Amino acid sequence: MKDFFKYTLATITGIIIFALVVGIFCVISLIGMAASDTATTQVKDNSVFVLKLSGTVDERASGDMGMLSLLAGGELETMGLDDILGSIEKAKANDDIKGIYIEAGAVQFDSYATVQTIRDALKDFKKSGKWIVAYGDEYLQMSYWLSTVADEVYLNKTGMIDLKGLGRKAEYYTGLYEKLGIKYQAVRVGKYKSYVESNTRKDMSPEDREQRMAYMQGAWNHMLKDIAESRKLTPEGINQMVNDSIMMFADPDYYVTAKLVDKLLYPDEFKALMKKKLQLDEKDDVAQLTLTDMTAVRSEKKEKGDKIAVYYAVGEINDESLSSFTGSEGIVGNKTVNDLRQLADDEDIKAVVLRVNSPGGSAVASEQIWHAVKQLKEKKPVVVSMGGVAASGGYMISAAANYIFAEPTTITGSIGIFGLVPNFSGLVTDKLGVTFDDVTTNTYTNYMENITLSKENSRELGFMQSFVDRGYDTFLTIVADGRKMKKEQVNEIAQGRVWLATDALGIKLVDKLGSLDDAVKKAAELAKLEEYYTASYPAKASFLDQLLEQEKKGSYLDAELRNVLGDAYDEWVFLRTINKRNRLQARLPFSTRVK
């Protein structure tokens, strides 16, 4: 009887395992079939590309958009700038696509430059003679800036426009730490290197206020100029409207009177307008192509000539992957160095465009990547294309290039170094009553414990300051050599200061204002190529890779915390992972995300 139960149980277990294996195989097969079915989208005549502004727009989305969208019910939470630009280019070249419809919604962009880059691509699209229309229930500030490139801008009759100017509140936690008995000890070089101030001050320093105001005013002026040009208004007039009242609470009719939109329409009225524009009957359906569809439309471009690699260096720079904490792989030092060495050794690649969109991070990892870029340049031309932000460590990895392009609203510079270490003596000793004594063989055996737990640690902090000073001197040397300047000249414009690219151009931190396409053309010129095509690196992860790696990309709690904390989430993640980061940091002092 015992054997009967044993064998019966074994049989049942085997059946269950077999069923699970078959089930998994069927799911993977279905995914494969679905992926193959959507591999190429067939474009119908008289189609419209619908650019839906919702979710977030980052420099580069994960691979296999189509399958992820299918499983998510047709919507994507994150769109890639590369996919959007590629889709606009395809729409421009495809005769069956008659125009673009911008559907405004709640969207967050990773930077001002990302909005501007899409807007410029749409502006170029209009040169084809095709039309662009925009419609939305609500235009947030960035989506309105983007949407005004359209030939016609429409708003729901109960809609609103939240045009209010640029600003950002900075959070300061020193008062909280005082209540807890915690003190953050900062060692830094550069009076503008303000990342540490949220943990060491209770208000904004004059230097930080100066640099923030400069880059925000510059970006706002650029936005006003674009909007005014498109809506046939004046920048001064729009600015006055924003100053006079809270635009979001205005009567919708005011937006028409003020020429901010062309007309107020209910959704069914806008749909009828679209059909008329496409010369369709009332009963006909509009053939719409989403971003997911467009990524699967076959490109008209052919791979002819020599290859130019476009390498994406996106995210914060770390010595090792922190994706399980941050939800993003970012730029991992050793991996990026190995990738660049492979590009250097690949004889089929004649030039490299380094697309940098990074606020920096580990100073050590940044220096290692800079060295790899320098070695790469010895074998083939390297041109940097700066995205939304290429600051601090992000600027360091750019400095060795032959040529640097930046978008007008790129945030760059921030040449400075800092270290940030908490001291818990107020909490542990004063409040909790824990005391310490030690036995050591040498003077500084317990230097780290003294920095974090002792009230008398000035000598240890002095050594740490010297460490940071050396890092800053190295940073100055790297920039001076790369930009053909004297260290004294670099030091004058460094000091951790953040610059808008339009200002950075005049102080030689960038060579020219331009797009990724401009950078590719320059790389081809330097490599003396007459015919060329581009290939993107690193390759995007496949759907299966993303599925298997999903558990490493943060938790549900992290997602909820991001929603609750907003801009403060990045600060919280930094503090949460501070013991896993390099002690020497070269990073931007604020988030660049905008709505």
pLDDT tens for residues 158-210? 999 999 999 988 889 999 999 999 999 988 888 888 888 999 999 999 999 99
Contacts of 293 (CB under 8 A, 6+ apart): 41
Those residues with Cβ within 8 angstroms of residue 51's Cβ, 6 or more apart along the chain or in another chain? 84, 87, 88, 100, 101, 102, 103, 291
The angle formed by the CA atoms of residues 353, 359 and 362, to the nearest 5 degrees, is 100
Which range among 49-63, 187-201, 303-317, 570-584 shows the weakest confidence by mean pLDDT? Answer: 570-584
Q: Which two tokens stand for residue 37?
A: 């079915």
Q: What is the pLDDT of residue 462?
A: 92
Cα distances (angstroms) measured from residue 161 to each of 69, 229, 246: 29, 18, 10
Task: Check whether 582 has a pLDDT greater than 90.
Answer: no
Share of the chain above pLDDT 90, in %: 67
Read off the DSSP letter of residue 149. Answer: T
| Backbone conformation region of residue 461, classed left if phi is above 0, alpha if psi is from -120 to 50, else beta | alpha
pLDDT for res 42: 87
pLDDT tens for 436-466 read 999 999 999 999 999 999 999 999 999 999 9
Unique residue bearing structure tokens 């809270």: 246
Distance CA 408, CA 502 (A): 5
Contacts of 505 (CB under 8 A, 6+ apart): 406, 511, 512, 513
Name the one residue in this structure whose structure tokens are 């047709």: 74
Do the Cβ atoms of 223 and 116 come closer than 8 Å?
Answer: no
Percent of the chain exceeding pLDDT 70 equals: 80
Give the lowest-confidence range in 28-32, 355-359, 505-509. 28-32
pLDDT reported for residue 12: 53
Section 353-381 average pLDDT: 95
Mean pLDDT on 49-56: 93
Residue pLDDT, tens place only, 84-126? 999 999 999 999 999 999 999 889 898 999 999 999 999 999 9
Phi and psi at 531, nearest 5°, equal -130, 135
Q: How confident is the model at residue 60 (pLDDT cuts 50, 70, 90)?
A: confident
Does residue 574 or residue 504 have the better pLDDT?
504
> Minimal CA–CA distance to 583: which of 176, 181, 183, 185?
185
pLDDT, averaged across the chain: 85
Q: How confident is the model at residue 319 (pLDDT cuts 50, 70, 90)?
A: confident
Q: Is there a contact between 401 and 377 (Cβ–Cβ < 8 Å)?
A: yes
User: pLDDT tens digits for 509-562?
Assistant: 999 999 999 999 999 999 999 999 999 999 876 555 554 454 444 444 555 555
Tell me: pLDDT of 69 over 70.
Answer: no
